[in-house]
Amino acid sequence: MFKTHFTRKNFIAISLVFFYLLMVLFSAVALDGNNPFFVKNNPIQLLAASLFPLNDLEGRVVKGVPAGSLQAYFLIILFVIYILLCVSSIIYEVRLAKYYDEKPTSKKWLLTYGVTFLVCGALWIGISMVSQISDKPYPYYIGTSFIFLGEAIVIGLLLFLILGSIVLNACFLVVNLKNIDKPFKFFDGSKVEQKELEEEETEEARAKAQGQLAESFGESSNPTSVSGAVTSAGASSNGASISEDSSPLKEKERVFPGLCSIDYLNMAPNNDVFDDSLSLSEIATRFRNYLAKEEGLYYSLLSIREFISAFAASRLIILEGLSGTGKSSLARYFSEFIGEKSFFEAVQATWRDRTSILGYYNDFSRTYNETEFLKRLYEFGYKKEHVNIMVLDELNISRVEYYFADFLSILEYPEDEWKIKIMQFPYDFDAPLHLQDGILQIPNNTFFIGTANKDESTYTITDKVYDRAITLDFDDRNEPFEVSGESSPISLSFTRLESLFEEAIAKKNNQLTIDDYNTFKKLTDFTYDTFDLTFGNRILHQIQLFVPAFVATGGTKEEALDFMFAEKVISKLEGRFEDYILQGLLDLKALLKKTYGEGSFQETNRRIARLIKKL
């Protein structure tokens, strides 16, 4: 919007100052009494004499010096000019500050006002002193002129206040006479009533929209009684009774109906009982038997060990391979095997940012569009003993590093810093219990599993994602086998699973020794020198976590290193066709045989053979 340098209010202020200065000049003429306009002993002169008794009232003489001398008039006129100039300049400077969108009360502008006042004052004093020069000795008129000015200023102020009061009273009388038949109000009451009516209509529209939103979540918009608490987020599927309640909805329940429902449904503490007696090795064997006997799915014991050990090394696991190889089933049935239920989110090709999984605030309905993904994360903030497995089905049908970028970064931090900003709340907003300041703490019992297909309809997963995840390939069909041993599901708590991993990592026999590191380093040095493939600290840390867990499931260190080397290093050679790649692969194959022996690193050798075939 265009900002003028002067507003009507500014002109009114300048006019009032000008009117006051006219009263000062008028008072000076009246105080003089030796002019065609006023006679001696006029009322104003008498008032001044009573307020400021002088030696001689006659002709306003002070110690023989006439008060109304030409020099005194010069002093008063210069005072009027420079006060008007000073006030106008300062008002202009205030407007100028606003014009440039700066704070008028900042130090910069306060200093500017001060300089303007001092310059105007200095000019007035300087020119006034010069004007006092006459045929008399220099200080002859100065004292009397300033006394005369002081009297004029005080009398002018009294006249200004008296006349101003009369004018205001006259205006007040005219306005009330004009509106004598109308009721007196400080403001237009019809506008207030109209505003209140609009607010009521808006509230009704919000309540209606809130009911539709709650229904879309599979919830009721009526208040619900849960453990004596009144809720508006809706009844849950557990058959909680719905009762009528005339109390207004809380603001947080309008904005976050689903999250508030979770708050109310989890008021009572969970008293879940878990069976925590099995070791990692027993869990791996039993899970494989469960898949084969109960679900008719056959996986190699090596694949099951890799899958379970991946939970120890990363919170993001990618199951990659051709469609129909059992990727989604593995994630689904592992949850059922440990007594949980996986959350499945089908990734859409239109996903471009975090709002696709975390939702967004709708300014029109003034509610937060809660996704099932967000509600699942929020719910397991209460279920700390449960293992929360969240599956992103076909995660590479859209770019992972776009919609999942926040999680890729946050999961690199310590667990107490797994915080993600959902939205900015107003100062006094009453937020859901686990969404204080608009920040959601990602539960440390959460694991993300992504299934990825390898076909022309999907995007290539970048190294940024691969390096942060543990990836399992499903390229081969596993042969059926005869189940022997226990195959019933178990009830595994997150605390127990975490302690099993910690015990495995702490066990010295499971850890890589210095000799193991030095031997493995020969491979990593060769791939760096030959293929320029780096092996960073993140991957090394994952190896330090994965290998002990894999050994605890019944595998060997060599099998674990084979898996990690194939997934983290050899997989990055896919799609490279430089001339030196073929010879480099042949040399690497020979190095593996020399370092680890014939028949070792089977997965790595299988990957190398596949790459050589393509070349």
pLDDT tens profile 44-91: 777 777 777 654 434 444 444 455 567 777 788 888 888 889 888 888
Alpha carbons 406 and 412: distance in angstroms, whole number? 10
Report percent pLDDT > 90 for the chain.
44
Name which of 376, 354, 345 is nearest 422 in CA terms: 354
Q: Would you say 31 and 48 are in contact if contact means Cβ atoms under 8 Å apart? A: yes
Task: Give residue 523's pLDDT.
Answer: 93
What's the pLDDT at 103? 84
Predicted pLDDT of residue 336: 94
Q: Taking residues 129-137, report their average pLDDT.
A: 65
What fold, for 280-474? Rossmann fold (3.40.50)
| Closest C-alpha to 595, from 499, 527, 508, 500 | 527
Does 417 score more than 80 pLDDT?
yes
pLDDT at 506: 95
What is the Rg, in whole angstroms, of the alpha carbon atoms belonging to the chain?
43
The predicted pLDDT at position 330 comes to 92
* Contacts with 122 (C-beta within 8 Å, 6 or more apart), sequence order: none
Looking at residues 247-276, what average pLDDT do you find?
Answer: 79
The structure tokens listed for 527 are 């791939």
In the prediction, which pLDDT does 341 show?
92
Question: How sure is the predictor about 202, in pLDDT bands with cuts at 50, 70 and 90?
Answer: low
Instruction: Classify residue 66 by its DSSP letter.
Output: E
Alpha carbon distance 124, 68 (integer Å) = 19
So what's the pLDDT on residue 320? 92
The domains of the chain are located at 8-178, 208-265, 280-474, 507-614
Task: Using the predicted structure, report yes or no on whether residue 237 has a pLDDT greater than 80.
Answer: no
Encode pLDDT of 96-108 as tens digits: 887 777 888 888 8
Give, as one character, the DSSP assignment of residue 393. E
Q: Is the whole-model pTM more than 0.85?
A: no
Nearest to 523 by CA among 458, 593, 432: 593
Rounded Cα distance, 202 and 474, in Å: 55
CA distances from 9 to 44, 102, 106, 431 (A): 32, 19, 22, 44
Between 483 and 239, name the one with better pLDDT. Answer: 483
Inform me whether the pLDDT recorded for 452 exceeds 90. Answer: yes
Which of 343, 320, 582, 349 is closest to 451 using CA atoms? 320
- Could you identify the residue written with the tokens 């004029």? 152
Collapsed DSSP state (helix, strand, coil) of residue 470: strand
Contact 351, 402 (CB under 8 A): yes
Residue 116 has pLDDT above 60, yes or no: yes
- Give the C-alpha separation, 95 to 90, whole Å: 9
Report pLDDT digits (tens) over 347-377. Answer: 999 999 999 999 999 888 889 999 999 999 9
Residue 334: what pLDDT? 95
What are the pLDDT digits (tens) for 303-335? 999 999 999 999 999 999 887 778 889 999 999
Band (pLDDT 50/70/90 cuts) for residue 220 is very low
In terms of C-beta distances under 8 Å and separation of at least 24 residues, what long-range contacts does 241-249 make, across chains too?
Answer: 247/223, 249/207, 249/210, 249/223
* Average of per-residue pLDDT across 444-471: 91
Q: What is the pLDDT of residue 366?
A: 86
Mean per-residue pLDDT, 587-605? 93
Residue 205's pLDDT is 62
In the structure encoding, which two tokens stand for residue 516, read together?
């193991």
Closest to 523 in 3D by CA, of 562, 491, 486: 562
Report CA-CA distances (Å) from 541 to 217, 498, 547, 571.
41, 17, 10, 19
- Tally Cβ neighbours within 10 Å of residue 445: 19
Are 229 and 265 contacting, i.e. CB atoms less than 8 angstroms apart?
no
- pLDDT value for 533: 87
Q: Which two tokens stand for residue 171?
A: 């205006």
Q: How far apart are CA 478 and CA 604, in angstroms?
A: 19
Three-state DSSP class for residue 55:
coil
Q: Name every residue whose Cβ is closer than 8 Å to that of residue 247 and which is 6 or more positions away in sequence.
A: 223, 230
Residue 356's pLDDT is 93
**At 195, is the pLDDT very low, low, confident or very high (cuts 50, 70, 90)?**
low
363: closest CA among 243, 255, 512? 255
- Asked whether the beta carbons of 470 and 313 are under 8 A apart, the reply is yes
Whether residue 295 has pLDDT greater than 60 = yes
- pLDDT greater than 60 at residue 235: no
pLDDT at 31: 77
Q: Which of 265, 272, 259 is nearest to 376 (CA)?
A: 259
Give me the helices (H) in 354-437, please: 355-358, 372-379, 400-403, 405-410
Please, what is the average pLDDT of the chain?
82
37-69 b/e (C-beta count within 10 Å ≥ 16 → b): ebeeebebbebbeeeeeeeeeeebebeebbbbb
Structure confidence at residue 226 as a pLDDT band (50, 70, 90): very low
Say what percent of the chain tops pLDDT 70. 83
pLDDT value at residue 219: 42
Read off the amino acid at residue 446.
Answer: T
Of 575, 520, 500, 564, nearest in space to 538 by CA: 564
Instruction: Give pLDDT, residue 245.
Output: 40
